[in-house]
Amino acid sequence: MPVLPIDSGRYGSREIRDVFEESSRLRYILTVEAAVAEVQAELGIIPADAGKEIASKANLNYVTLEKCKEVEKIIGHEPANVVEVLASVCGEHALPWVHYGLTSNDLLDTATSLQIRDAMRIIEGRMRELTTLLAEMAQRYSDLPAVGRTHGQHASIISFGLKFAVWASEMLRHFDRLNQLLERVLVCKTLGVVGTGSVMGEKAIEVQRRVAEKLALKPIDAATQVVPRELHAEVVFFAAILASTLDRMATEIRNLQRTEIGEVEEPFRPGQVGSSAVPVKRNPIKSEKVSSIARLLRPLVQVALDNIPLWHERDLTNSANERFMIPMSLILLDEALKTMVEVIKGLKVNEKSIATNIQKTDGRIFSEFVLDLLLKKGFPRVSAYRLVQKASEMTDVSFVDALLHIPEVARKLSKKEIEDVTRPHAWLGASKLIINHVVDEVKRKLSTLGNPSLPMV
């Protein structure tokens, strides 16, 4: 019976949950066990027929999840339960060589690397789709003037498309982070109890190199019984920082959907209910979900950091929380990405409200440009600033009329000059160039990445 929403399928795609299912975890562990046996046989560490036997039986057809659970109830150890079940299905000639020279975390940590790799392949695909959508929205609305807000207040004119370009640019940096991350964290470790490869001797290095090659991983340079947990911390940090970018998008969309602003609206399908009590409500629940997920992911970084300083060559203080931390981080990140793709794909942009909002301050949003006009007329900056500020405080008249009520301004500027300054399209600045550059970078980066290239095991 499901306990957590992830278990019920409420969060995370079927594809990414499959990576972390119990049976999948067992399959990854057996994949490692098989690869080690094959390599040890190749190097003459164990008999060739034993290696072939172990590798042929190290799969879910012979080592079932149900049997492993039965054994674990008796012995109380993972993955010794896997080793015991594997040995029980192998021929007698292979029994001395099952799990030869290995320790539990050789299987567990290497299997975790395989899970991270396969999960990140899915994450990368979601990132690609979202970044493409953001670039398209940036270009579509590049010529649309809108209110730019700082501290929640109207500040100046912005291209509405620039919002999406900024997010797309941020996503490109996450691709860089992901690629750098995978170079470091996708490691294979088969060096035994305390990381010396003692039973296999000097051949242990070559065993690890070949196993890593078979599994499309990198051999760990040095480890104790476990791979250093700063590697896993980096995975969790990546999930948290990317989720925080999604939270930033979601927070802006939630704000712009407020009734008083009304510039965007999340997709709302026919028959959907926004409120059980208020029929007219259309709440930004998808964006709120993204923000909520990000709040859950960020504290997991602290847990991951706390796992780094283990006692001596290892202890188990990391073990229990990692069973939650890594699957939760990547499944929930998948959910947040999938949800944000839905939001951006179906986002309704209300251009009429955007235009109306520009006029809410009756021209005062153009104060920056009036100030610039006065500076070009020879006014000292401080004096010009004070005059424009004074005009902005005359709320009983329009900003244009307020400026003309100030003699120093009226002597230098005509009404037409001031009105010309209050044309929104004139103040998009370098927005178009910035947006085009970001769009070009998105196209370039995604084309060089090609199709998601991380192989699945």
| Catalytic sites, residue numbers | 151, 275
| C-alpha angle 207-212-215 in degrees, rounded to nearest 5 | 125
- Helix, strand, coil percentages for the chain (3-state, nearest 5): 65, 5, 30
Q: State the first-to-last Cα distance of the chain, in angstroms, to the nearest integer.
A: 29
What lies within 8 Å, CB to CB, of 106 at 6+ separation is 32, 36, 189, 190, 191, 192
Residue 96 preceded by cis peptide, ω within 30? no
Element containing residue 157 per DSSP (H, E): strand 153-159
Inter-residue contact 142 to 432 (CB < 8 Å)? yes
Tokens found for residue 89: 């299905």
The Cα-based distances of 265 to 147, 164, 262, 269 in angstroms read 17, 15, 7, 12
Q: Rounded to whole angstroms, how far apart are CA atoms 374 and 25?
A: 69
User: Which sign does the torsion angle of CA 77, 82, 88, 91 carry?
Assistant: negative
Q: Hunting for tokens 């890594």 — which residue is that?
A: 326
The Cα-based distances of 277 to 36, 273, 274, 280 in angstroms read 61, 10, 9, 9
Closest by CA to 346, choosing from 269, 450, 246, is 269
Q: Rounded to whole angstroms, how far apart are CA atoms 75 and 82?
A: 11
Residue-level length of the chain: 457
Closest by CA to 82, choosing from 17, 21, 19, 27, is 27
Q: Rounded to whole angstroms, how far apart are CA atoms 43 and 127?
A: 42
Q: Could you please report the per-residue DSSP string of 260-302?
A: TT--EE----TT--S-SS-TT----HHHHHHHHHHHHHHHHHH
Residue 136 in 3-state DSSP?
A: helix
Q: Hunting for tokens 């700063």 — which residue is that?
A: 230
What lies within 8 Å, CB to CB, of 103 at 6+ separation is 192, 193, 225
